[in-house]
């Protein structure tokens, strides 16, 4: 759907139903045209000390959706996790997080999910990012990893990664379902069965 067609559809919706309220993840169950998706990596990604950041998964572009959670685990606590979403960015390692901590906006929870040098899979140092409300994105999501030049070990690995999200796969169907659901909730009626006494 082109930008011009999308604008035309939104104008038509606004004329028919007045102002649209925000579409929040809690209302998605009543709407069509969206889907869940998990981006993940179970294979290890090698990181070299001082090298440029490496994409963990291909960047997500030209898509509207909501992020639910991100999990990443490294074999070295100094390895950096780089997160870019629209205009919001941060870079953090499990070591830095445990040393200085960090405060994130929007009631977002970030914690060390594992910090153990002796697991059955080898050393594991992980970060988990979970927003209180699903985090909206509009243009781009990029997740990368790097091993800084100041790290003690020459290499590190991304042992595990997962990014959970919902996104709008069909804009026309999504916007039409907003119109249908809004009309159903505004004008619709509830019929209660009557008993004959």
- In a domain, residue 190? The reply is no
Exposed/middle/buried for residue 151 (C-beta within 10 Å: 0-12, 13-18, 19+):
buried
- In a domain, residue 164? The reply is yes
User: Which residue is associated with the tokens 């579409």?
Assistant: 23
Q: Which of left, alpha, beta for 28 (phi over 0: left; psi -120 to 50: alpha)?
A: alpha
- In a domain, residue 145? The reply is yes
Q: What angle do CA 98, 107, 69 make, to 5 degrees?
A: 75
Write the CA distances from 34 to 106, 136, 152, integer angstroms: 24, 14, 45
Distance CA 197, CA 193 (A): 13
Q: How many domains does the chain have?
A: 1
- In a domain, residue 186? The reply is no
Residue-level pLDDT at 192: 45
Q: Which residues pair with 90 in a beta bridge?
A: 83
Q: How high is the mean pLDDT in each 10-residue block of the chain (197 residues)?
A: 71 58 70 90 91 94 91 95 90 89 74 89 92 87 94 94 92 83 62 55
Residue-level pLDDT at 11: 66
- In a domain, residue 124? The reply is yes
| Domain enclosing residue 143, as ranges | 3-179
- In a domain, residue 18? The reply is yes
Q: What is the CATH number of the domain that holds 171?
A: 2.60.120
- In a domain, residue 44? The reply is yes
Contacts of 41 (CB under 8 A, 6+ apart): 56, 57, 158, 160, 161, 162
């Amino acid at each position: 759907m082109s930008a011009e067609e999308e604008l035309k559809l939104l104008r038509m919706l606004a004329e028919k139903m007045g102002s649209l309220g925000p579409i929040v993840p809690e209302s998605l169950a009543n709407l069509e045209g969206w889907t869940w998706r998990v981006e993940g990596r179970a294979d290890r990604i090698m990181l070299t000390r001082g090298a440029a950041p490496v994409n963990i998964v291909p960047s997500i572009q030209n898509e509207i959706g909501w992020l639910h959670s991100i999990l990443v685990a490294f074999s070295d606590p100094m390895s950096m996790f780089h997160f870019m979403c629209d205009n919001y960015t941060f870079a953090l390692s499990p070591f830095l997080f445990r040393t200085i901590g960090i405060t994130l906006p929007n009631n977002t929870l970030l914690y060390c999910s594992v910090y153990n040098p002796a697991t059955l899979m080898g050393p594991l140092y992980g970060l988990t990012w979970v927003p209180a409300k699903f985090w909206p994105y509009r243009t781009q999501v990029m997740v990368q990893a790097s091993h800084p030049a100041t790290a003690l070990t020459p290499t590190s690995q991304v042992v595990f990664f997962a990014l959970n999200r919902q996104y709008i796969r069909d804009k026309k169907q999504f916007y039409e379902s907003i119109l249908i659901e809004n009309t159903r909730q505004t004008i619709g009626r509830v019929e209660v069965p009557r008993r004959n006494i």
